[in-house]
Structure 1
Amino acid sequence: MSLRPGPIDVHAHWLPQHLFGLAPGSPLPPLRDHHGELHLGDLPLSIRTEAMSDVTRVLADTDAAGLGARVLSAPPFAFPVAEADGIDEFVGTFNDDLDKIGRDSGGRLIGLGLVSLHDPAAARKQMEALAGTETIRGIAVPPLLGTTSFDVAPMREILGSAAELGLAVLVHPMQLPRPEWSSHYLANLIGNPVESATAAAALTLGGVLDDYPSLRICLVHGGGCAPALVGRWEHGWQQRADVRGTGTRPPRQMFGELWFDTLTHDVPTLNLLRAQADPGRLMCGSDYPFDMGTPDPLQLPHAAGIDDAALEANARAFLGLDTGENDE
């Protein structure tokens, strides 16, 4: 697929209004529009409804941000995290709608689809269908499924299929509640970074990248608090047999094979990420249209000295658009 030239935002969200009921079995109340503002049940989300669901608004905001293109994925509350009848239909409808808006966007929108998280066989068939589209370049998944992450089934099998099919994977936390995080929005401010760090640990300590060396997997929000923990993981790997039990290479080396967006919220934290990660695997991310995102996703990487050419090249590599095989 031919994208419009310019930096690519790999971390933005979209959900058509007819899917506001969320995936079957969702533990969350449905989304609803209330006087133009998006609510999750009775909870206001500080998001204009059209920014989440109206493609015309999304395109206008993409242009206003100075982006060449935007990669859309489902908001995390739409992830199909429950085992329930109708999941495959919900996933298929979202993916079909996402493909259509990408095809109609003039090279400004592409997507990352959904898969049935509890059923690796169904997920593989869904990914095979996605691999046959021009506009969907991978999948978006949560870092945790129940009490497990990517180092065990079923998520490990899903990553294996994505790697084999050449699909990118974007990992987005779900803001899971805990009693000690019930105030001050801590389920987001602390919880989301911890979820991402848990995923990073599963990937680097669990041997996942050894098994699937071609896997392209991105942790949003700059990997959460994972960049600050790499040295601790490295020390544990050197000192403890149980930490070395699965992976064959030290975690610092494995960490350099992960991808990240630059949405760290300040330059010092972005510089820490740059020190721990491969600079060729850092990409622009906005978290559009959430309140913890930014309408100007280029400002922070520019302030840290990352230019548009690098942001575009890195995102194209992550999305599998740099080889010429699918970028027509």
Structure 2
Amino acid sequence: MISTPLAQGVIDVHAHWLPAELFGLPPGAPYGRMHDRDGQLHLGDIPLSIPTRAMSDVPAILEDMRTAGVGVRVLSAPPFAFPVGGMPGAGAFVSAFNDALSVVVSDADGRLVGLGMASLDDSDETRAQMERLAGTDGIAGIAIPPLLADRSLDRGILRHILTDAVDLNLAVLVHPMQLPRPEWSEHYLPNLIGNPVESATAVAALLLGGIKEELPGLRICFVHGGGCAPGLLGRWTHGWHTRADVRRHSTRPPDEVFGELFFDSVTHDPALLGLLAAHASGAGVVCGSDYPFDMAQPDPVRFATDHGPDAGTLTANARAFLGL
């Protein structure tokens, strides 16, 4: 629910924030706790290549917005804070994050908007948490992972979240978790390959699972330009037309539904952003930064407007995603 008018300017829908008191992360977090080491933020033993204050300090976020020409920034938790461990105590972490986020955005004079989180192992608890988010001023929706165990958006708790999001008028941001695999153990490949593959898997599950057809009011955005999805859309559509097992859960081909989804501009490739804009239609691309990570788009507004829609269209698209 957003009652305060937003500040003027381009809206960055993809940025991260976590208060320092929650750097311990939820119980069962797969990478270990976040912590400061000589001013630099670490995740377990992994250096995140960013100053610690960039993640938790609101004045640092606002200063970065001024430098980048961002009018409004939409904050969500870093993906390794998603409560995917399924361990006791995760609900308390979720509540603490959502409460802290609501304070931050309510004090920002329309410059910050929040996307909360919810537990991922109990549909009743998740629903109750989402109802609280829907009634919290400054919170526009929820951020979720694209995969949970062996399921994506078309099954299990993630599927329930999408249904509840429509019912409660919440936007949904889908962010990959950089899940490790043995063949990606070097070269930062869990991020460079894993993140785009996770996102593409979720987009495919949504399209081929018929979710948007069942939930036409769903406002859902995939970060990093949808990962591999723009380059695979033609293949998915060909498979839908030629194989009964591919189309058995949907009534419309993927290339017809793709334009009803939202995708951010963090592609790091002008040609890929152009392809995404062509597939997603003018209404489907929104500006993103991925602040404050090292894989962020360093000049998000300029990159998006140079190679995608103009600033007015980006802002209108983001407002539509947020439900304004």
Q: Please state which band the TM-score falls in when normalised by the shorter chain.
A: over 0.9
Residue in structure 2 matching 1:127, options 112, 124, 130: 130
Distance (whole Å) between structure 2 residues aligned to residue 211 and residue 94 of structure 1? 31
Residue in structure 1 matching 2:317, options 291, 314, 317: 314
| Alpha-carbon contact 2:40-2:49 (below 8 Å) kept | yes
Structure 2 residue runs of 5 or longer lacking an equivalent are: none
Identity %: 61
| Alpha-carbon contact 1:266-1:300 (below 8 Å) kept | no
Structure 1 outlier segments of 4+, above 6 Å = none
| 1:259 maps onto 2:262 in alignment | yes
Residue in structure 2 matching 1:117, options 115, 120, 131: 120
Residue in structure 1 matching 2:218, options 204, 215, 218: 215
Matched with 2:209 is: 206
Q: Deviations over 1:99-143 (max 9, x none)?
A: 000011111111100001121211111111111112110000000
Q: Structure 1 residue 306: deviation in Å?
A: 2.1
Q: What is the identity, as a one-letter code, of the residue corresponding to 1:232?
A: R
Matched with 2:84 is: 81
| Alpha-carbon contact 1:176-1:187 (below 8 Å) kept | yes
| 1:136 maps onto 2:139 in alignment | yes
Matched with 1:18 is: 21
Q: What is the identity, as a one-letter code, of the residue corresponding to 1:266?
A: D
Matched with 1:325 is: none
Q: What is the identity, as a one-letter code, of the residue corresponding to 2:123?
A: P
Matched with 1:96 is: 99
Structure-2 change in CA distance of 1:305 and 1:236 (3 Å): closer
Superposed, which structure 2 residues align to 1:1-328 within 5 Å? 1-321=4-324
Matched positions, count: 321
| Alpha-carbon contact 1:37-1:47 (below 8 Å) kept | yes
Distance (whole Å) between structure 2 residues aligned to residue 308 and residue 295 of structure 1? 17
Q: Structure 1 residue 278: deviation in Å?
A: 2.2
Q: Structure 1 residue 46: deviation in Å?
A: 0.2
The structure whose residues are more often helix, as a share, is 2
Q: What is the identity, as a one-letter code, of the residue corresponding to 1:46?
A: S
Distance (whole Å) between structure 2 residues aligned to residue 111 and residue 305 of structure 1? 25
Matched with 1:324 is: none
Q: What is the identity, as a one-letter code, of the residue corresponding to 1:34?
A: R
| Alpha-carbon contact 2:282-2:309 (below 8 Å) kept | no
Structure 1 residue runs of 5 or longer lacking an equivalent are: 322-328
Moved more, 70-79 or 80-89: 80-89
